[in-house]
Structure 1
Amino acid sequence: MRPPALRRALAPALRLTRGHAGCSNPHHHHPPTPSSSSASSAAPAHTHHSHSHSHTPTHAHVHSSAAAQTPSALPHRTPGAALNVPTTAGGPHESAAYCASLVQRLDPDAWLTSYFWPKRERDWWFAIRAFNALEERNRRSSLRLQHMNKLLLRDTLLPRAPGGHTRASLKLYSPLTDNLQLELHQVTTTVSQPAIAAMRLQFWRDALSAIYSDNKPVPQHPVAIALAEMRKARPVMKYYLSQMIEVRAKTLSLPPASPSLEEYITTYSPLAGALLQGPLPILLAPSDAGTSHIAHTLSHVANLLAVTTLLRGMPQLAAKRQLAIPSDVLASHGVVEEQVFRAGAEASGLKDAVFQIATRGMDELITARTDLKSDNGKVVPAQTMPLFLAAVPAERYLQRLEAADFDVFSQELQKADWKLAPKIWWTYQTGKL
């Protein structure tokens, strides 16, 4: 038996673990949305002290409050399954609820860290994360449908366009193949080809222009409304929100593999940087003396996130016979793409290539920690700590990757990390990256 004081201190982390580590026990309930009173009491945002008994709901209270909810409000999931949270929860008149449910479904790592944001600021942060989640979903849908177009033309008896060129055939038959894809893969988004993807990106460009204008009506989209409310309350720069659009617009037409690891980081880290430095004014006034130092440290965390995104996406790309490892890393370890597609992790030199990339990510984390040494390793100002929690899932992935002998295809890496929620909680409590 744990001492009562220890049980009370660990209660918030245990609740997060039960809700997000793939638990299928019918007696365990997912935490309510962060806008509820239990979430705000589970993780006060402005203190680093252990939670008192008055702030920790009892076991009976959790079950009684859960019983009052409808089954759809407290969804369950099996290990490895996506969170069954409808993205349409809320609407133009409930923009905060819409953004929260969207993040919970599409960005579970960010959802876990949300419990440690101040209640009011959390809604504005959700607006930025929901904006990012929407754009990422659009980009992935566009790439997936483009790939399926090519497969359907290659593996079916559709006649080729005059001259037999694949590009001309895609243009000729894209409406037909798009309909087939909707049936086969149940793609619910409307992004079916690059032209439509470009239209949606332009919609958000126009939406940002309206949000940051004093005389243009804001589109009646819940994310746009939430961003407009955030802009009225905090001086979040339009530049960072635009970065989320422009980086995706640029990378949509790029090949999966960059020429070099440095070029990959240069191309993709601005997206992670926008997600970290963009919300900084929500927690810290731009005039604060610590702003520039915190922003510099966050830039190293952004590089870490870019590297882990590259590694985590490799299995999905390999399933489509695409390899995202930068060309210079492949060449230095003698990795042959076709061998990777056939042999997976056993391909010659692949684990060494993955090790090199993972090492670069850890170097960025070490550099970020070095930046904080002057304050005994703690994040100062302390109110910016929620932003640094994004490094915890990335570090946990690299640690699990090392335990799997740098096998990015390991099934262990596809499982939910039950240690992640307690680790996020502990990192917040210590105030150290």
Structure 2
Amino acid sequence: MSVHTLAICRRSAMQQGYSCRMGAIRTSHSHSHSHDEGSSHSHSHTHTHTQTARVQEPAPKPLDSPSTSSSPQSDGSRLSISRAHQYCASMLQSSFMSPKLITPFVPGPSRDAHIALSSLSAALKHASHPPLTSSASISMASGSSAASARLRLQFWKQTIQDIFAGKTPPSEPVAVLLTEVIGTHSYTRGFFMRMVDARMARVGDPPFANISALADYGEAAYSSMLYLLGESMPSVRAVAAEHVCSHIGRAMGVVEVLSDFPGMIERRGRVLLPVDVMVRHAVREEDVLRRIDVSDTEIRRKLADAVFEVATHANDQLITARTMLEEVVSQQGGRKNIDDAMFAPVLFAIPIRMWLEKLEKIDFDLFSPKLRVKDWILPWKMYWAYRSRKI
């Protein structure tokens, strides 16, 4: 079968699977939500995030006055809120998940929270997998590198705990802005801890046993961030879209691993597709590492088949999220009642969907340079999704 025919078959399979899965998902997913009248709320639906206690932390006691803790001093030892905000906003310019493009659609009072939480997510990813030079011959599995990564993540864990305890944060831009945000919102601290713990578990690049384990990583690392963004919103109705965010976060985790695939091979010598998928498609790590540079046709075909299966799972998560969003629309009495507070976290689905569509067009070749080209149409797609309240 030619590559062109294979691509058409895969594309047809995904398109046909869309309509079939839509019907199956509607019958297989049931969600019940209950909201307490107090400061905490609980959700009874079958997602991993229900394991985190929804006891929201009160805002910490005020820290030092701006003149002593936030404003720049002559020795430059402290950062101002404005400088921290500027630094964090610049961090998001190159972020793969395009949080910078989402910022204009976030309600004004919650934009600093969106920037701080997205920056924290980026900082945690960098802490667990700092860039390696092309000449580096060691991987994160080595003892010194893994220990260094754990120390960086422990710094963030301790910093978050200190912020909730009302202590002055270290003079680090993300920590400074995060302190300001946590001081003005009521957050579930457990979600912050899950974000850190998810990255800590990835130190050393342990393999994913199966696709479910990969999706669970996305739930912890990214869904938790979306839940916190929902808690930042001025409307209490924002929590109605939490189950939608659960599936979006899981898709984000899968796409992160797929998008990092070439770099993991080049700089760290690791193939991190789920083990069960690699076994089903007879993909051996040593074959990929040894022959990928010479474009071995058979290895490329097997690898594309494995990537197709993993990408399909991410697509299924987005289909489920889309179905759940329609249920929210129905519950709220129409799209006109889906306010910005409810919809802003859901917008993270758009860059993920577009990346998967691009991957499909190039026949699931993770090494294609086309995957690294920015989509000029993404801002327009984001705006259209915002206006139509559809993902």
| TM-score normalised by structure 1 residue count | 0.64
Between 1 and 2, higher relative CO (CA 8 Å, sep ≥ 6) is seen in 2
Rounded to whole Å, the distance in 2 between the matches of 1:252 and 1:147 is 21
Match of 1:92 in 2: 80
Rounded to whole Å, the distance in 2 between the matches of 1:308 and 1:111 is 18
1:345/1:407 contact within 8 Å kept: no
Match of 1:385 among 340, 343, 355: 343
The 5 Å alignment of 1:305-344 reads 305-320=252-267, 321-341=269-289, 342-343=291-292, 344=295
Q: 1:432 to 1:229 in 2, by over 3 A?
A: same
Q: 1:366 to 1:284 in 2, by over 3 A?
A: farther
Aligned residues: 302
Q: 1:108 to 1:271 in 2, by over 3 A?
A: closer
Match of 1:53 in 2: none
Aligned alpha-carbon RMSD (Å): 2.8
Displacement after TM superposition at 1:391 (Å): 0.6
Match of 2:164 among 193, 212, 216: 212
1:133 aligns with 2:122: yes
Displacement after TM superposition at 1:101 (Å): 1.7
Where do 5+ consecutive residues of structure 2 fail to align? 1-75
1:267 aligns with 2:217: yes
Rounded to whole Å, the distance in 2 between the matches of 1:197 and 1:224 is 18
Match of 1:423 among 370, 381, 386: 381
What are the superposed Cα offsets for residues 348-393 of structure 1, whole Å, 9 maximum, x if unpaired? 4221111111111111111111112232584835422111111111
1:233 aligns with 2:152: no
Which residue identity lines up with residue 385 of structure 1 in the other structure? F
Q: 1:322 to 1:140 in 2, by over 3 A?
A: same
Displacement after TM superposition at 1:118 (Å): 2.4
Match of 2:194 in 1: 243
1:366 aligns with 2:319: yes
Rounded to whole Å, the distance in 1 between the matches of 2:185 and 2:304 is 45
What are the superposed Cα offsets for residues 160-194 of structure 1, whole Å, 9 maximum, x if unpaired? xxxxxxx9xx77xx7xxxxxxxxxxxxxxxxxx33
Q: 1:334 to 1:199 in 2, by over 3 A?
A: closer
2:92/2:119 contact within 8 Å kept: yes
Which residue identity lines up with residue 114 of structure 1 in the other structure? T
1:150 aligns with 2:138: yes
What are the superposed Cα offsets for residues 129-154 of structure 1, whole Å, 9 maximum, x if unpaired? 11222222222227x37992538xxx
Q: 1:197 to 1:358 in 2, by over 3 A?
A: closer
Q: Is the radius of gyration larger for structure 1 or structure 2?
A: 1
Rounded to whole Å, the distance in 1 between the matches of 2:276 and 2:363 is 22
What are the superposed Cα offsets for residues 295-318 of structure 1, whole Å, 9 maximum, x if unpaired? 111101111111111211111122
Rounded to whole Å, the distance in 2 between the matches of 1:349 and 1:105 is 31
2:92/2:99 contact within 8 Å kept: yes
Displacement after TM superposition at 1:232 (Å): 2.1
Rounded to whole Å, the distance in 1 between the matches of 2:238 and 2:102 is 22
Secondary structure, aligned partner of 1:150: coil
| TM-score normalised by structure 2 residue count | 0.70
2:116/2:174 contact within 8 Å kept: yes
Which residue identity lines up with residue 136 of structure 2 in the other structure? M
Match of 1:118 among 107, 116, 122: 107
The share of aligned pairs that are identical, in percent, is 27
Where do 5+ consecutive residues of structure 1 fail to align? 1-87, 152-166, 175-192
1:272/1:305 contact within 8 Å kept: yes
Secondary structure, aligned partner of 2:136: helix
1:92/1:220 contact within 8 Å kept: no
1:302 aligns with 2:260: no
Q: 1:299 to 1:113 in 2, by over 3 A?
A: same
Rounded to whole Å, the distance in 1 between the matches of 2:342 and 2:217 is 26
Rounded to whole Å, the distance in 2 between the matches of 1:371 and 1:355 is 24
Q: 1:420 to 1:230 in 2, by over 3 A?
A: same
Displacement after TM superposition at 1:338 (Å): 3.3
Displacement after TM superposition at 1:394 (Å): 0.5
Rounded to whole Å, the distance in 2 between the matches of 1:207 and 1:147 is 33
